[in-house]
């Protein structure tokens, strides 16, 4: 097996993720304009101590997007001994680069979406390890079969082009990961999730690039289909209530949030995933037979990619 040039792989992945950030932000601003909005991304460049930094771009209070955050980072440092012991490789030194995005649309008929792709290298010399992780998942507020089917089919097609990517495995991983055990329910209708892919890194990187290039393919048609639909105050309230589940997951279970906080990351960038507006009621249960009640039934794993529209 040829020796991996870890430093060159890091350089290539960081360059790809930064370019992807620009492409996604440009496309989202175009969709905001199509919805007659004037909001634009604010950009913050920041430094990480002891090394590296990132670029955070956030669009707030738009017409189409209530909040959209797209973060690029490339940081270096040292894990705690406790955290390092949970990961491949020896030693504590690390280099991590990735893109993370969360889009909270204003219209309750448009799902929230998340995507993250990352590459981490840990250790030095013969004990050095390198891996990729990431994925994308969809969190609807109202049940739309065609949206879930399109989203999953896009990721299944991406996986099918790469022998190292197993859609069935990645979908199951996503269903299990984006789950709130204290609620006994999934965060949304899933997608794909993967982590610690350490073998055949060149092939894995090709898959990650393909997935990153198709994020907009997976999400934009869903957004465009629903972003101008009328909605009521009651539907808006339901959206804000369901966003509470999103916040609970991100603060209690999300690996990216935990990783950032445990490695002295920039808090504003780490918590950019949280929505602009959210609410919690008390023991509120939707009435049987309503679309809101139907959504709860959607939050159970199913083979969306094989269903017919």
Distance between CA atoms of residues 150 and 156, nearest Å? 10
User: What fold characterizes domain 6-306?
Assistant: oxygen-dependent coproporphyrinogen oxidase (3.40.1500)
Domain regions of the chain by residue span: 6-306
Phi, psi of 186 (to 5 degrees): -80, 155
- The C-alpha atoms of residue 34 and residue 124 are separated, in whole angstroms, by 49
pLDDT of amino acid 1: 44
Span 173-195, average pLDDT = 96
Check if the beta carbon of residue 71 is closer than 8 Å to that of residue 267: no
* Percent of the residues in the chain that have a pLDDT greater than 90, as a whole number: 82
pTM score: 0.95
pLDDT at 125 > cutoff 80: no
Predicted local confidence at residue 123, as pLDDT:
84
Mean pLDDT value across residues 214-230: 98
Report the interhelical angle of 145-160 vs 201-213 (nearest 10°).
150
**From CA 192, how far away is CA 92, in angstroms rounded?**
29
For residues 53 and 184, what is the distance between their CA atoms, to the nearest angstrom? 37
For residue 112, which of 147, 74, 82 has the smallest C-alpha distance?
A: 147
What is the model's pLDDT at position 293? Answer: 95
Confidence tier at 65 by pLDDT (50, 70, 90): very high
| Catalytic (active-site) positions | 114
- Per-residue pLDDT for 207 more than 50? yes
Question: What does the alpha-carbon distance between residue 237 and residue 279 come to, in Å, rounded to a whole number?
Answer: 8
What percentage of the chain reaches a pLDDT higher than 70?
Answer: 99
Between the alpha carbon of residue 77 and those of residues 86, 99, 119, 120, 293, the distances in Å are 16, 18, 14, 11, 47
* Residue 136 to residue 155: CA distance in whole angstroms: 9
- CA-nearest of 218, 181, 177 to 304 is 218
């Amino acid at each position: 097996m040829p020796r991996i040039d870890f430093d060159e792989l890091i350089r290539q992945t960081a360059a790809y993720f930064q370019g992807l950030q620009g492409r996604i932000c440009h496309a989202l601003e175009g969709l905001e304009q199509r919805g007659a909005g004037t909001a634009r991304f604010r950009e913050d460049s920041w430094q990480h101590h002891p090394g590296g930094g990132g670029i955070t771009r956030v669009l707030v209070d738009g017409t189409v997007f209530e909040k959209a955050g797209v973060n690029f980072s490339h940081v270096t440092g040292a894990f705690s001994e406790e955290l390092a012991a949970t990961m491949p490789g020896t030693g504590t030194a690390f280099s991590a680069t990735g893109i993370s995005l969360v889009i909270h649309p204003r219209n309750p008929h448009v799902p929230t979406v998340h995507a993250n792709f990352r590459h981490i290298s840990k250790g030095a010399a013969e004990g050095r390890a390198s891996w990729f992780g990431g994925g994308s998942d969809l969190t609807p507020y109202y049940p739309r079969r065609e949206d879930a089917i399109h989203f999953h089919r896009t990721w299944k097609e991406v996986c099918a082009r790469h022998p190292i990517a197993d859609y069935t495995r990645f979908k199951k991983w996503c269903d299990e990961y984006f789950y709130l055990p204290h609620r006994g329910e999934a965060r949304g209708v899933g997608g794909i999730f993967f982590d610690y892919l350490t073998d055949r890194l060149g092939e894995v990187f090709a898959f990650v690039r393909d997935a990153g290039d198709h994020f907009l393919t997976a999400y934009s048609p869903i957004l465009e289909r629903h972003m101008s639909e009328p909605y009521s105050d009651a539907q808006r309230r339901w959206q804000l209530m369901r966003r509470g589940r999103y916040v609970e997951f991100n603060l209690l279970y999300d690996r990216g949030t935990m990783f950032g906080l445990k490695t002295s990351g920039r808090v504003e960038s780490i918590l950019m995933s949280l929505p602009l507006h959210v609410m919690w009621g008390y023991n509120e249960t939707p009435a049987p037979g309503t679309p809101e009640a139907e959504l709860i039934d959607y939050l159970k794993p199913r083979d969306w990619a094989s269903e017919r529209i």
